[in-house]
Structure 1
């Protein structure tokens, strides 16, 4: 079975967390994981999070373009790996 599993995330932080966990915890090859804007424009997601938010030294950050969710897709070659990806994506998006 060769398939691609794709999910969209509202924030860049959630997309990055998905990639990090797939690679570091589950041993997926980074070359099998792809991150893109889900829309036509460059985007940091739909919601601010992590480094995109203002600190106590800033009143507001305007440099993180928010327009579309972030898409993460993973190429998998067996049902067990597909189950891992789906379970992890579900966990992060339910968060």
Structure 2
């Protein structure tokens, strides 16, 4: 939970794969505690993102058509304020299409 010593950063990704890469970087490179990182669909519908990736994109007959591609994926995390610039850069490198912080 955010308090005076944390900043909440949110990023939106087109694929679940990109969102998971962003989370992996937060935890492994920046030492963010996993319980302080949240992943959810942007809409109220279950979604694996809005674009095929990973196993969805590499199906033998082309992209799978049964993946629930119903919207983007949001990753949010409570981080130390001094990590903000580095985490923003990391999210951008992972493919974030929108970024905001509070």
Distance in 2 between the 1:59 and 1:83 partners?
38
CA RMSD of aligned residues (A): 1.7
Does residue 75 in structure 1 map to residue 56 in structure 2? no
The aligned length equals 92
1:22 pairs, out of 26, 31, 34, with 26
Corresponding residue of 1:64:
67
Per-residue deviation, residues 4-44 of structure 1 (Å, max 9, x unmatched): 10010001110010001111122111111100001110001
- Shift in CA distance, 66/83, structure 1 to aligned 2, threshold 3 Å: same
Q: TM-score, normalised by structure 1?
A: 0.85
Judging changes above 3 Å, is the alpha-carbon distance between structure 1 residues 40 and 80 closer, same or farther for their aligned structure 2 residues?
Answer: same
